[in-house]
Amino acid sequence: MSEKTQAPIDEAVLDLLIKQAVEGLEPAEQRALDALDDAQLSGIARELEQAAAAALLVGLDTSEPLPAMLRERIEKAAPAALAGPASTAPATTPTRPAARVRRASAGGGWWAAAACLVLALIGWLRLPSNQSGLVAHLPQTHPQPPQPQTQPQPQAQPPAAETTLEEQRAALLAQTGTVDVPLAGTAEPGAAGVKADVVWNERLQQGVLRVVGLPANDPTVQQYQLWIFDAGRDARYPVDGGVFDIPAGRPTVLIPIRAQLTVHSAAAFAVTVEKPGGVVVSARDHVVALGKIT
Amino acid sequence: MDQYGALVWSLARRLSRTRADAEDATQEIFVDIWRSAARFDPAQGSDKVFIAMIARRRLIDRLRRKSAEPPMDPEEVLESLAWADPGMSSEMCTEAERCAQALKELRPEQREVLELGLLHGLSQSEIAAKLRMPLGTVKSFMRRGLMRLRENMQIDAPGVSAGAR
């Protein structure tokens, strides 16, 4: 274990963290811990809970499969359970610190991504002069002609199977080599509050785009299109990641990525607004979200 | 469910008093997992520990609620699944293997306190009463034991060590 030079944790606070991990805290204890609002403590709390969870796995015999009848029961009940409100966390559940860390981290990520992409956007919006902005951040390659891509473009998958896509996304995140890339909204009308991220695995050539806050579109007028910048290709011609729609009343939408060409080394992702069916080469007149792999 | 069915079922059996409880708990755990799947971060631990964290929260909550109910027929009670055989831990995941190693190094009384808290869901006060041990001693054993597990998992955080009193 590495030694670091931060102040030791107070014994009483440490006892609260231990109790939180093992049995959960009473409301007053939880409030006392919350009041400290210490990121270091949140990290320790999460680690202690992980240790308690790992202890539950020690010597665990998993040779008995999930009973078929129970599996069937769970599958039948799942749609209703997932459609309903989230079950409230038990009052004694030690979830608060870890959740706070995740929120803080995610918020920071979005903010940082937005800040980093301001300059990048300027360049990408004004292509084909490709030596500025995001393109300048990408590995330089020899110019190539546009890759042969045929119309019609891949259509968005219906967003009805959100649970399945959530599972796909989680499964991808569990794979070695998967990246989770935040995308920030741009100054394009309706895009300022957009948050998105791309979970992408190069080896599997699979990914899921998660979009929050993108305005609903009329597919007969325009559609959204995802682009994948491949370091192994000319940055002027990103790989088409698929065309998709945002239905009204769906603040969060998951989209399976359908790369039309093999992506050798993803460097960035962008979402544009295009004509119905998408385009082979985007004019980049309406970029609504952008993010690069750092 | 293909991938984690047996794991969740085993966790539920380990921390439930009856098979019927374990079945209900398994259903609730899967819903929790589906709701939380997007938050899984492989940089913070394995998928199995993530599943175990979700399962444990739900199971502890259920144990607390069940503890208020009248005693059940002893024949319905599941056999206690303690840390008697940690041999399979290496096949489970790295964290479990390291945890098993740390458990071996604990003093018996520390291990017993941890087992009652982590595997049987007893509160520190309940452990103190059961073992006829001062609450402060239970807290101390629990603190040192869990910190040792955490350290053995090579989870590193500044300012804290297993020797913290």
Q: Which residues of A touch B89 (CB under 8 A)?
A: 57-60
Are residues B52 and A53, on separate chains, in Cβ contact within 8 Å? yes
Q: B-chain residues within 8 Å CB-CB of A208?
A: none
Where does A126-263 show beta strands of DSSP type E? 178-185, 195-201, 206-212, 223-230, 239-244, 252-256
Q: Answer whether A55 sits within 8 Å of B5, measured CB to CB.
A: no
* Range from A93-107, A181-195, B67-81 carrying the lowest mean pLDDT: A93-107
ipTM of the complex: 0.85
Contact at 8 Å (CB) between A195 and A169?
Answer: no
The DSSP bridge pattern shows strands A223-230 and A266-274 to be antiparallel
A274 DSSP assignment: E
pLDDT in tens, A69-108: 999 888 888 777 776 555 544 433 433 333 332 333 333 3
Percent of chain A surpassing pLDDT 70 = 69
H or E stretch including A292? strand A287-292
Best probe of the A interface among B23, B41, B47, B57, by most A CBs < 10 A, is B57
Task: List the single residue in B with minimal CA-CA distance to A180.
Answer: B41
User: Which chain B residues touch A56 with a CB distance below 8 Å?
Assistant: 11, 14-15, 52, 55-56, 118-119
Closest B-chain CA to A12: B165
Give this prediction's pTM. 0.51
Give CA angle at A106 (A105, A107), nearest 5°: 95
Across the interface, do B159 and A7 touch by the CB < 8 Å criterion?
A: yes
Mean pLDDT along residues A223-242 = 85
pLDDT tens profile B22-50: 999 999 999 888 888 777 877 788 888 99
Provide φ and ψ at B142, rounded to 5°.
-65, -45
Cα-Cα-Cα-Cα dihedral sign, residues B52, B54, B55, B60: positive
Q: Give B-chain residues touching A182 at CB under 8 angstroms.
A: none
Per-residue pLDDT at B83? 52
How close A179 gets to chain B, by Cα (Å)? 11
Whether the pLDDT of residue B76 is over 90: the answer is no
Rounded mean pLDDT, B67-92? 53
Q: What is the mean pLDDT of residues B75-95?
A: 57
